[in-house]
A and B are shown apart, each in its own frame.
Chain A
Amino acid sequence: MTIKAIPLLDVGILRQSARDAFAKLAPRKLVRNPVMFVTAVVALLVTLLFVRDLMTGRGGLLFSGQIAAWLWFTVLFANFAEAIAEGRGKAHADALRSTRSETQAKLLLHPDAPKDDLWEPKAADLLELGDVVLVEAGDTIPADGEVIEGIASVNESAVTGESAPVIRESGGDRSAVTGGTVVISDWIKVRVTAEPGSSFLDKMILLVEGAERQKTPNELALSILLSGMTLIFLIAVATLWGLAGYSDTALSITVLVALLVTLIPTTIGGLLSAIGIAGMDRLIRFNVMATSGRAVEAAGDVDTLLLDKTGTITYGNRLATAFIPVPGITDSEVAATALLSSLSDETPEGRSIVALAKGQYRQSEPQLAEMQATFIPFSAQTRISGVDVDGRSIRKGAVDAVLKSLGLTMATAPAAFRAEVESISRSGGTPLAVTDTEKLIGVIHLKDVVKPGIKERFAALRAMGIKTVMVTGDNPVTAAAIASEAGVDDYIAEATPEDKLAYIKSEQAKGRLIAMCGDGTNDAPALAQADVGIAMQSGTQAAREAGNMVDLDSNPTKLIEVTEIGKQLLMTRGSLTTFSIANDVAKYFAIIPALFLATYPELGALNIMGLATPESAILSAVIFNALVIVALIPLALKGITYRPIGAAALLRRNLLVYGLGGLIVPFVGIKLIDLAVSALWLV
């Protein structure tokens, strides 16, 4: 599916978010965020005091009124950030949902009857678990389900973006269908396997809706840290009232509240849920659906990646890579002969022989029409195919079968030929023998070709600290050869599903976190056992239920992006926390001298920013504190860029930017705001 990328600041979403920011002032919603809840409570307190002063006609109204207003802005800006993140997430999810909502399903009244039996229309949204529907050519599949009868070609481009249709049939590994995809030919009966509202889409929508969202484990831990910091600052500020009393300084509630709100981590507190929602949203845009936020966080921690060889690391088909002649024959003769034998061979191997001969070996295509050619197709009995043309009989096939047809064995075959065959087998490849009229002329080297660029991706993973393990049914020799070519760290050869499960369990016992991709029913136990199990959309229902993510594009290398999104999520939280806490230093230098200027003018030495008056200093700090939330919304939504440069280098970088930056930026920001505040005569 192509979800349209929504610009970072979409006008429609902004307008809606501004409205939602006020709706989120409801105490029931605010209480979910302790830092913002405290801010709102003290904002209310200051507002009440302002109203009291207004009634009794005390002075300093301009100052306390502005403080109250900016405290409310602080809360609103935080709500706004969350609303924007939600809005974007919902917009993406709605784009997905819209494909489904208008669909009318053909509900079969008697599922076991032949296909032309009675059906009645039912809205796709109302389908229940176990309903059986008929989907015919041109129909949209109304819900996630399993094919129980029939075979059809299905266009899944709505969810995968891949335009080539795929076959879906009952039984086996290709029986799962997804709501929103379209049947192009034939018909199928589908049993609905998703509860209404429990499909991946619905689960995903829940993850981007702030109100219903469960906090993820790390988010919870961070919230506790932030709440703890809030309590500590509450103690520091509340006791300051008493300590100031010692030197006969009466501090007003308004300035103490201003100090408190600037100190408590409102920046990260305000952006925390926006960061979490935006992380899920990024996942959607990568066409990956997660069933829990926990899985996304776990993805950032993964240290071992289990990858199926076929389809992930290699193309999965054996392709010809070389023609090797026996002594006395040139390689172009072998190429020409092999080409001739494969012209009508439509298997991937045959096509690759044609491509190789015409490409690397520069053979021109023979004009078959002018020749009298009889093709001998491949058969499972002989394991040989070929062509009889112009009196020549050309054959190619498995080495032992070809030798047998010539009345030879490996022992009696020519030494040079035998050496080549053995070396190809040793390297993990498959040799095919080629004969021309009962004469052995050469060998075709077939091998499993590693996808281009995959080695670089594995190197990037290694730099992230992630070990890659290739799982294959091949024998150890073949597996080792491909493993070294693809650059994986380890491999499991001749693997059965039980081996996979056992491997995952043993790695987990060592404390490692495992991610894997799978699509078959026999992958389901391993998918469930893995910490991050990504099921392919094209896989079976069992696989999709066992995993905690579904990749709509069925692209196993996407594990890498998922891992990056997980890391990005944690990094953004950590960096903004550091920024938020580092900010406090400047705020102390702004507010503390301002609080005690009357009692101890000497403390003015701490006013290193040279802020105009005590009131402007306090107001500027509060304004900066509110505005910085807005300024950081884009960063919270986009996330901090992850680079696989090793943990120490990454930390140094982020510390420099967000730690040191967090120390310096507020000094500059508060000074600038103070200049503006004084210039405008705001206090």
Chain B
Amino acid sequence: MTFIGWFQILAVLGAVIVCAWPFGLYMTRVFIGERTPLSPLLLPIERMFYIAAGVRLEKEQSWLAYTLAMLTFNASGFLLLFVLLRLQSLLPLNPQGFGGVASDLAFNTAMSFTTNTNWQAYGGETTMSHLVQMAGLAVQNFLSAATGIALAIAVIRAFARNSAQTLGNFWVDVTRGTLYVLLPLSIIVALLFALTGVPQTLAGSVEATTLEGVKQTIALGPVASQEAIKQLGTNGGGFFNANAAHPFENPNAWSNMLSIWSMLLISTALTFTFGRMVGDRRQGNALLVAMYALLITATAVVYWAETSGNPLLAKAGVDMAAGNLEGKEVRFGQALSALYVVATTGLSCGAVNTMHNSLMPLGGLVPLFLIQLGEILPGGVGSGLYGMIVIAILTVFIAGLMVGRTPEYLGKKIEAREMKLAMLALLILPLVILGFAAAAAMLPNALESLANAGPRGLSEILYAYSSAAGNNGSAFAGLSANTPWYNTTLGIAMLLGRFAYVVPVMAIAGAIAAKKKVPASSGTFPTHGPLFVGLLIGVILILGGLQYFPALALGPIVEHFLMHAGKTF
């Protein structure tokens, strides 16, 4: 670890927070329906959409109507994308002439992009036509992100309102999220990416002659625009198979920093939106501090583990001064690679600029564990915030009891109904991750996909299901996931991880919105001080640790001890 490394890490995070603050306040105005600088331009377009779709702006929905609208919207998106994938050979904008996508892969991919996971069981530049990339995948990149933001806003409203029956209008929220938040940002970020050297073209590929005189086909395409929304919407699905390690997706240190900045921006900004909308910015700041404290700690662990290098190689006489560089791009360096690894998994982004399978055992433990925590640090756009709120509800429940009051969060009492729904939501991830991983660990045909033996193989399986259920989308690599078993089970994991989680969360929001806001007194446990932040961090770590410790012990943890004992597989 070096000073300059830490300086880079903190500079990027500082830039995120400095920009997220005004942007969070901007989002507040957007979703409250106040005028913004972009209103003169976008308001007529927004109105046009409502007229075309027959949406009445002022008609708000109950939690159930909101959720059903969201599910209908996403189900249609899934179907459309599925059909597009199956029929791509018959459709235009297919310069390389790719055939239709196999049904299990099409299911997996459609689910992956609808759920904001962007798990890619295929190589993008060798499978998908430009039409699919732009009209299918990129559209879902926007819509799945806008869905996440809309859901988060609905949950925030539940806490901001007093005895309310409605949570807003899903169609309005998703339209505004796309028009006012994602589109303008994407345009700016895409231009910035292009400025750093990321290509943006509709050409299929270029022919190059190498030094040895061999003809080489270099894939090209509308990369910069894809890259912008991939990061901003915490989607993570790359244009190229190598994702952000590919020189066209992420050519240099500047594009790398821009990547990290843009994936953290909206999730971070939402904590400010939260604080503003519930009328107490300290509440948002508390969540922010908890998220970033864990994020920075995790970065430190990865940074330390990777720069420490591999003791076995050191023993074999390899110079480990630069640390473990396997799977890393030298142009990014150890510090920003570590931050990228942590950010992409603390968020549910899943873009990778480093091969996670090449991380040291403890370095690989961190991203795996971060995904299993539910990706709330600061999490996917929207999903991170509502995930964090569920944990906060749990924290407040236990803390509230300890001060002798019926627990309340932001003036709303947490009672049996909220607890039931919160537990329902919290059960989904361990059930899906551990259930499928245990099944895969026992199935011979699932084990055939593994590239590594020993505990690392188990880590690969665990990582795949964690990534899918957590809607992350990054892969540990080493697992050939394009098989019917993995395509199907991972697809189901993504479906449950997104929608089976969010339905109970929305039901909580409905119950919370209907409650009276209780004014705080000196007997109320304050949810903005360092004590609450510390407690929140404790609950996140202990709850996550208790669920996954046995599984992790058999994967990265034992591998770490084995490595130090000199055992390899």
Distance between Cα atoms of A626 and B553 in the complex (Å):
26
Distance between Cα atoms of A463 and B521 in the complex (Å):
10
> Which residues from chain B contact A413 at a C-beta distance below 8 Å?
none
A244 part of interface (Cβ distance < 8 Å): yes
Q: Contact check, B404 vs A300: say whether CB atoms are below 8 A apart.
A: yes
Q: Which of the residues B416, B523, B524, B558 comes within 8 Å of A224, measured between beta carbons?
A: B416
- Known contacts A224-B420, A243-B554, A596-B558: does B518 contact A300 (CB below 8 Å)? no
A26 part of interface (Cβ distance < 8 Å): no
Interface size class of B (residues with CB under 8 A): 35 or more
Stretch in contact with the other chain, from A135-143, A226-234, A356-364? A226-234
Q: Contact check, A647 vs B524: say whether CB atoms are below 8 A apart.
A: yes
Proximity string of chain B (150-184) to chain A, C-beta cutoff 8 Å, 1 when within and 0 when not: 00000000000010000000000000000000000
Proximity string of chain A (648-667) to chain B, C-beta cutoff 8 Å, 1 when within and 0 when not: 10111011001100000000
Q: Contact check, B426 vs A592: say whether CB atoms are below 8 A apart.
A: no
Distance between Cα atoms of A549 and B447 in the complex (Å):
65
Distance between Cα atoms of A510 and B545 in the complex (Å):
40
Q: Contact check, B458 vs A567: say whether CB atoms are below 8 A apart.
A: no
Query: Binding site of B, secondary structure by majority: helix, strand, loop or mixed?
Result: helix
Q: Contact check, A235 vs B434: say whether CB atoms are below 8 A apart.
A: yes
Distance between Cα atoms of A467 and B519 in the complex (Å):
12
Q: Contact check, B458 vs A247: say whether CB atoms are below 8 A apart.
A: yes
- Known contacts A243-B551, A570-B405: does B419 contact A225 (CB below 8 Å)? yes
Q: Which of the residues A224, A568, A585 comes within 8 Å of B542, measured between beta carbons?
A: A585
Stretch in contact with the other chain, from A182-190, A280-288, A597-605? A597-605
- Known contacts A218-B406, A574-B398, A647-B525: does B561 contact A603 (CB below 8 Å)? yes
Proximity string of chain B (515-527) to chain A, C-beta cutoff 8 Å, 1 when within and 0 when not: 0111101111110
Interface residues of A in 109-161 (CB under 8 A from B): none
> Which residues from chain A contact B553 at a C-beta distance below 8 Å?
592, 596, 603, 606
Q: Contact check, A648 vs B523: say whether CB atoms are below 8 A apart.
A: no
> Which residues from chain B contact A510 at a C-beta distance below 8 Å?
519
Q: Contact check, B404 vs A582: say whether CB atoms are below 8 A apart.
A: no
B233 part of interface (Cβ distance < 8 Å): no
> Which residues from chain B contact A462 at a C-beta distance below 8 Å?
522
Q: Contact check, B438 vs A239: say whether CB atoms are below 8 A apart.
A: yes
The distance from the CB of A438 to the nearest CB of chain B, in whole angstroms, is 59
A7 part of interface (Cβ distance < 8 Å): no
- Known contacts A232-B427, A650-B402: does B549 contact A246 (CB below 8 Å)? no
> Which residues from chain B contact A654 at a C-beta distance below 8 Å?
402-403
> Which residues from chain A contact B522 at a C-beta distance below 8 Å?
462-465, 646-647
Distance between Cα atoms of A354 and B562 in the complex (Å):
93
Q: Contact check, A651 vs B548: say whether CB atoms are below 8 A apart.
A: no
Q: Contact check, A600 vs B562: say whether CB atoms are below 8 A apart.
A: yes
The distance from the CB of A590 to the nearest CB of chain B, in whole angstroms, is 12
Q: Contact check, A570 vs B406: say whether CB atoms are below 8 A apart.
A: yes
Distance between Cα atoms of A246 and B450 in the complex (Å):
12
Closest to B162 in A: A511
Closest to B535 in A: A655
Q: Contact check, B561 vs A600: say whether CB atoms are below 8 A apart.
A: yes
Q: Contact check, A574 vs B399: say whether CB atoms are below 8 A apart.
A: yes
Proximity string of chain A (586-625) to chain B, C-beta cutoff 8 Å, 1 when within and 0 when not: 0010001000100010110110000000000000000000
Q: Contact check, B561 vs A221: say whether CB atoms are below 8 A apart.
A: no
- Known contacts A217-B416, A596-B553: does B546 contact A588 (CB below 8 Å)? yes
- Known contacts A511-B516, A596-B554, A648-B525: does B437 contact A243 (CB below 8 Å)? yes
B327 part of interface (Cβ distance < 8 Å): no
Interface residues of B in 475-534 (CB under 8 A from A): 516-519, 521-526, 529, 531
Q: Contact check, B402 vs A228: say whether CB atoms are below 8 A apart.
A: no
The distance from the CB of A566 to the nearest CB of chain B, in whole angstroms, is 7
> Which residues from chain A contact B319 at a C-beta distance below 8 Å?
none
A577 part of interface (Cβ distance < 8 Å): yes
> Which residues from chain B contact A241 at a C-beta distance below 8 Å?
438
B439 part of interface (Cβ distance < 8 Å): yes
> Which residues from chain B contact A683 at a C-beta distance below 8 Å?
none
Distance between Cα atoms of A585 and B538 in the complex (Å):
12
> Which residues from chain A contact B545 at a C-beta distance below 8 Å?
585
Distance between Cα atoms of A113 and B106 in the complex (Å):
93
> Which residues from chain B contact A511 at a C-beta distance below 8 Å?
162, 411, 516-519
B435 part of interface (Cβ distance < 8 Å): yes
A629 part of interface (Cβ distance < 8 Å): no
Interface centre among B423, B522, B545 (most CB of A within 10 A): B522
B547 part of interface (Cβ distance < 8 Å): yes
Distance between Cα atoms of A606 and B550 in the complex (Å):
12
Closest to B400 in A: A574
Q: Contact check, B438 vs A464: say whether CB atoms are below 8 A apart.
A: no
The distance from the CB of B387 to the nearest CB of chain A, in whole angstroms, is 16
B52 part of interface (Cβ distance < 8 Å): no
B565 part of interface (Cβ distance < 8 Å): yes
Distance between Cα atoms of A448 and B263 in the complex (Å):
69
Q: Which of the residues B162, B523, B535 comes within 8 Å of A464, measured between beta carbons?
A: B523
Interface centre among A229, A588, A648 (most CB of B within 10 A): A648
Closest 3 CB pairs of A and B: A465-B523, A574-B401, A567-B404
Known pairs A247-B455, A578-B398; list 13 more (Cβ under 8 Å). A218-B406, A225-B397, A225-B419, A227-B423, A228-B419, A232-B546, A301-B405, A566-B404, A575-B402, A596-B554, A602-B558, A648-B526, A651-B525
Give chain B's interface residues, CB within 8 Å of chain A.
162, 394, 397-406, 411, 414-416, 418-420, 422-424, 426-427, 430-431, 434-435, 437-439, 441-442, 447, 454-455, 457-458, 461, 516-519, 521-526, 529, 531, 535, 538, 542, 545-551, 553-554, 557-558, 561-562, 564-565, 567
18 A-B contacts, Cβ less than 8 Å apart? A220-B416, A224-B416, A228-B427, A297-B406, A303-B518, A462-B522, A466-B523, A568-B404, A570-B401, A573-B401, A574-B399, A585-B542, A585-B545, A600-B562, A603-B558, A647-B524, A654-B403, A655-B535
